[in-house]
A and B are shown apart, each in its own frame.
Chain A
Amino acid sequence: MGTVLALAAFGICILLLAVYGYKVSAKTAEDYMLAGRGIGIAVMFFFALFAISSVWTFYAYPSILYRHGPGFVYFIWGCVAGFVMLYMFIGPRLWAVCRMNRFLSPVEALAARYKSPGLRLVASIVLLGSIIPYIADQSLGVGLGLEAILGFPPVAGIVYISLLLVVIVLLGGMRITAWVNVVLGLLYTVAFLGSLIYVVARVFPNGLSEAVSVLRSQAPALLTTPGPAAIFRPAATSIVFVVGMLAFSWPHVIIGTMTAQDKTIFKWMPGLALVVAGMLFYTIPFLWGAVVAPAISHMPGSLVPPVSGKEADGIVQMIITSYLPPWFSTFVLMGVIAAAISTAAVQLMTASIVVARDIIHGLFWPRSGDRFLIRTTKFSVIGILAASMGIAYWYPVELAQYLVGIAIPGFAQWAPCLVGGILWKRATREGALVGLVAGTIYLIVGFVHRPVLLGLHPAIPTLLVNVCLFLITSLLTDPPDERVIRVFFDEVEDFLSKKA
């Protein structure tokens, strides 16, 4: 009963935050969708960090390490590198061109770059098809957390988190989503780090070395690659890094660059990402999944014996519930909810902007005003959330696969036309369309008939085909006209060269 009351109070606090956000926000489309392009460096860093770090980081990532050993940490190194590359190489130019031309979505910028409404529609559909399952991942994670602590069916957590998300995004828009990310992200970090320290202090009084000693004697394969299931051989580990590196193409991360206040953000973000995210924050789930959780499961007399498959998705929560006091379990569940909201709210905003700005406004009602745009974005939020709830309830694969197996290969398909459009003058509409469509069709065929993926991760062969067709077709077709080059390259360089 205490847990239920605590969660109710927590939900009310979040709702009050959303109401406050509604009061202080301007009522323009730019403010609702991109926080008025006024996010400074401190908020931006936590906004971006906790947009990436989600329930997946709390439950799914430790679950893979727990089952397969430390090889999967290469995915995180890849993610950090991809995130840093976005802010170093692509972000400044995308931010500048969107700011100068008042683009409200990255897809809109691409459509203008390639002068192609068709590309706008295809890219929107591909991104929506990839991001909705990832939103489902967040609500399902909360559902599993509630199940582990209170024995409720997962649907209870799915409904609870979805209600909170609706209110935050409908009332607050991107500005309050960013602020919620900062507040909830800090709660998430305290819960995650606190639970790790608490469990180690209680179960392994001599520290992490003691946990490693347990693993060395009971399950040595979990300390090395390729791991117990022989998955992470050297080539596979390197490929996992490349898949992680595709983080630069995640739309909810890219849209964050468009909210930046000024260009100095792009100078500071890579350093913060490398130190605070790469070296500090992501160490927490690594230690949970690669050292502490497997050591507890494999030690003699464990309260949480080894689990596998989907059951392992809840291993962190099971250990916390079994070894720590009930009040602390409740606190950690709040951390999980914070993690889910901080990511899902940005994803929901991004997906709704794509639906409203790029599909409804861009293709069907281009002359409509700000009020129409905000209203359609809000209606889109409800539709997207309903779809994600359905997928979360379905729960077809383990949590980790929603991101690694479904969302990333889909996001990867727009990476060539995005990077090419921003950095390569010779990139053409035909090249972008052929690459995007061919890569997406290959991906869909690969989901239905796995052998066509040649035993590789779905993102790899499909992206290779996409890139090759994009490059070849672009070189074989007429170059973009002078106006496109001026708007997307010359003016951008002039703008970025000025003092901040």
Chain B
Amino acid sequence: MREILSHRPGRVFVLVLFLAVVGLFAMTPFFHNPITLWGWVSLPFASGIVFLAVWLIAYLIYFFKYWPFR
């Protein structure tokens, strides 16, 4: 964590992770709608998958290109 916050790409990486969490929280008021995607995927589940996808993309870029201990 110290090494991640000590350079600009690391700070951007942590910011992206944080914003993804904020986005996940921001979705919760919409879960009272009985919307399902493809007939069976409920919104809380779909939101989580998108959240994980954002973390995955950020991780792949940062850890394989910028992480100081790579």
Residues of A participating in the B interface, judged by any CB pair closer than 8 Å: 70-71, 73-74, 76-77, 80-81, 84, 88-90, 92-93, 207-209, 211-212, 216, 220, 223-226, 232, 234-235, 237-238, 241, 263, 266-267, 270-271, 274-275, 278-279, 283, 286, 290-291, 423, 489, 493, 496-497
Contacts and interface: CB of A to CB of B under 8 A. Distances in A.
Contacts of B21: 81, 241
A212 B52 contact: no
A74 B44 contact: yes
Contacts of A220: 34
Contacts of A263: 69
A423 B45 CA distance: 33
A271 B56 contact: yes
B12 to A, nearest CB: 15
A423 B42 contact: no
B49 A279 contact: yes
Nearest to B62: A88
A333 to B, nearest CB: 28
B8 to A, nearest CB: 17
Nearest to A232: B31
Given A224-B32, A225-B28, A212 B56 contact: no
Interface residues of B, number: 36
A267 B70 contact: yes
Contact of A496 (B32, B33, B48, B69): B69
B30 to A, nearest CB: 9
Contacts of A76: 48
5 contacts: A73-B48, A84-B59, A209-B39, A224-B42, A267-B69
B56 A275 contact: yes
B29 A70 contact: no
A207 B40 CA distance: 9
Given A89-B1, A225-B31, A234-B28, A81 B69 contact: no
Given A71-B44, A223-B34, A278 B63 contact: no
A74 B67 contact: no
B68 to A, nearest CB: 7
